[in-house]
Structure 1
């Protein structure tokens, strides 16, 4: 994979090529986030072992989201993400997440496990936002594609629990041990990146509320609004897709219905890794707002189409629509981060990204709780329409962002003397 670079070589004092650096950061993030994915792996077994209620199983999943939000907001409020090198934060965050995850082996019930899951999320807030910032320092023109590759790796990680569920037979303690080791190894992998990217952001002393200053920037605010709409749909879709497919009569009537629905969910979610790459290419060519708006129209439109037509459609068509949904539902994710990296005050990029991610994951907690309630009390049709609300909000935000982008292009073009070119 090659990227368009704005430089012909590496920055001074740096022995890692941009492509290798992005690959290492993506691998490090994927491995470190194993501690997050472990909840999805083990919840079905813990539900029986710890006699969890539906509320308890939801709490075990949402606890990591809550911890991530708390950690991201603390990082932004204190300016840590802009004061400490990203690789250092990722190393300690990954090790902390591994330790918290491994401590689940000592738990005998939900009461002891919940604080550890919250702590895991706090530690992972030291991995994901700095990883986005690190990748952004290695590319300018190819930034969307580079971020898309990193988030594509995480998409595969999010889909993997469904494949494990389809295969079955993996004991939950082994899962915890394995994911803890993977998380710790993620912290070590990032140390293989030597030197800084050729486009580093300024490093500032710790400053309270530094990252929140980004909210005054209209371009950043629109990116955050689009990201919130995207996240409203994303995690609830990922969490609920297997259940939705399993509810279809043609699937539910099979003797191995649970394994079949998990396998279908893995395929429909995993295809999003390719969507991330396509979204990155479109973002680099068309501009971030237009690319994100395209993805939002496709994903939100598919949710509405499924809500209206899925009961009367053949199973094959429904599965293809779900795969199309899975492709586009994540394709825009990297573009919102790239918009912040390109429009926020360079002094506070780390804090601005932490705030964006915190806002997005707050939204995920609402739909992760609310969508199952809608299914239980109403129907999948209602739940699918609820999910489509997020993309609708995101589309409005991206339409406004695209207008602002075009206005800037016109202004720059009008101020450029005839015969000169813009970089």
Structure 2
């Protein structure tokens, strides 16, 4: 069994990440049932989503400044984080009517995700040292598919208790923990360098090209998670215009978010021909355009707008792995890991106000709330335009 896993390490890692990251939006996947049965609002959805994001940021910064990932094997951290995340996610079932506790458990889930997503990247390096933007694209693609998975599970369990999809997500995370633990750390794991001062990661922001690329990433992140949070609401709006019920919402929400995996993999393939910067710029331009025009198309057929949501789903995440690749090239060689950790932490920090604004204003603005996301792509493109004029650091 172990020999079989180690023969195909990359598929094992990306599938384990798919299972582990199903915890990320597990509550969003059952949101319609929660709102209908318990009277929770879009603001409550935003609050719980923000808890996960805040936990992930706290966990990422903790790993960055303590050198935790260098002191212990990446596979062990991944496995432990998946197990603890599964427990926190399952515990939400028991604390839903206790606002303070449900917030804490979603925050804890985010903390655990910081031991899954970034450590998955490190394991790819350890097992496939010659990995390219394509391998990284597969990894982010699995993150995207994992984010969409709760909607699929909810669609497959309609008519059943809403607790089932949450518990299935926890079970998948346990399976992911088991296979990664059996796989172990790769033979090319970087040597431990001990704790990395936070200022060493921040120092990369003084490099003009890294700062320009990071700015593009920040604009991308302002749009990405807020869009994923709004997807069930946008899909529900179009189905309501068609006179359809809620049964199709989880299936279509899964399609809109999950199709982003195709964008990641396709973008990785294109990056080999056109380069990462070209892919990042085109994806950000396309998602920003859709974001800008979508609310102005109120009179257009809901079927057309659903197709436009699918286009948005592809473009909104296709640039993510390419920004990571560009940032790794531009960062000082001695602090690539800490520089990326800081960039990710700031990027995820920007998801907090974006989610808070869009989910909080949805009740008043409805579809017009998506215009609050437009500054992200606009500022991202402006920053990325400066990257081409700056040399990468050696």
Q: Normalising by structure 1, what TM-score?
A: 0.82
Alignment-derived partner of residue 118 in structure 2: 129
CA displacement 1:357-380 (0-9 Å, x = unmatched): 222221112121111334333352
Moved more, 142-151 or 76-85: 76-85
SS at match of 1:126: coil
SS at match of 2:347: helix
Please say if 1:327 is aligned against 2:327.
Answer: no
Equivalenced residues, count? 387
Moved more, 296-305 or 313-322: 313-322
Alignment-derived partner of residue 376 in structure 2: 390
Distance 1:263 1:99, change over 3 A: closer
Shift of 1:84: 3.6
Alignment-derived partner of residue 75 in structure 2: 87
Match of 2:160 among 170, 181, 188: 170
Please say if 1:72 is aligned against 2:60.
Answer: yes
Alignment-derived partner of residue 400 in structure 1: 386
Distance 1:94 1:61, change over 3 A: same
Q: Normalising by structure 2, what TM-score?
A: 0.88
Alignment-derived partner of residue 138 in structure 2: 149
Shift of 1:68: 0.6
Please say if 1:22 is aligned against 2:10.
Answer: yes
2:335 and 2:108 map into 1 onto residues whose CA distance is: 25
1:237 and 1:106 map into 2 onto residues whose CA distance is: 28
Q: 2:10 touches 2:128 (CA, 8 Å); kept in 1?
A: no
Distance 1:112 1:40, change over 3 A: same
CA displacement 1:150-169 (0-9 Å, x = unmatched): 11122222223333444522
Shift of 1:245: 3.1
Q: 1:27 touches 1:153 (CA, 8 Å); kept in 2?
A: yes
Distance 1:50 1:302, change over 3 A: closer
2:29 and 2:392 map into 1 onto residues whose CA distance is: 47
1:139 and 1:343 map into 2 onto residues whose CA distance is: 21
Q: 1:79 touches 1:351 (CA, 8 Å); kept in 2?
A: no
Alignment-derived partner of residue 362 in structure 1: 349
CA displacement 1:180-219 (0-9 Å, x = unmatched): 2221222222234355365x54421123425444434433
The aligned runs of 1:8-407 (5 Å cut-off) are 16=6, 20-47=8-35, 51-107=39-95, 108-137=97-126, 143-167=132-156, 168-193=158-183, 195-196=185-186, 198=188, 200-209=189-198, 210-248=200-238, 251-254=239-242, 256-308=244-296, 310-381=297-368, 383-404=369-390, 407=391
Distance 1:214 1:187, change over 3 A: farther
Distance 1:217 1:85, change over 3 A: farther
Q: 1:300 touches 1:391 (CA, 8 Å); kept in 2?
A: yes
Q: 1:90 touches 1:126 (CA, 8 Å); kept in 2?
A: yes
Distance 1:53 1:299, change over 3 A: closer
Shift of 1:49: 5.7
Q: 1:275 touches 1:331 (CA, 8 Å); kept in 2?
A: yes
SS at match of 2:195: coil
1:257 and 1:148 map into 2 onto residues whose CA distance is: 35
Q: 2:30 touches 2:154 (CA, 8 Å); kept in 1?
A: no
1:202 and 1:401 map into 2 onto residues whose CA distance is: 31
CA displacement 1:235-269 (0-9 Å, x = unmatched): 12122123223223xx3155533223443332222
Structure 1: where are the runs of 5+ without partners? 1-14, 413-423
Alignment-derived partner of residue 6 in structure 1: none
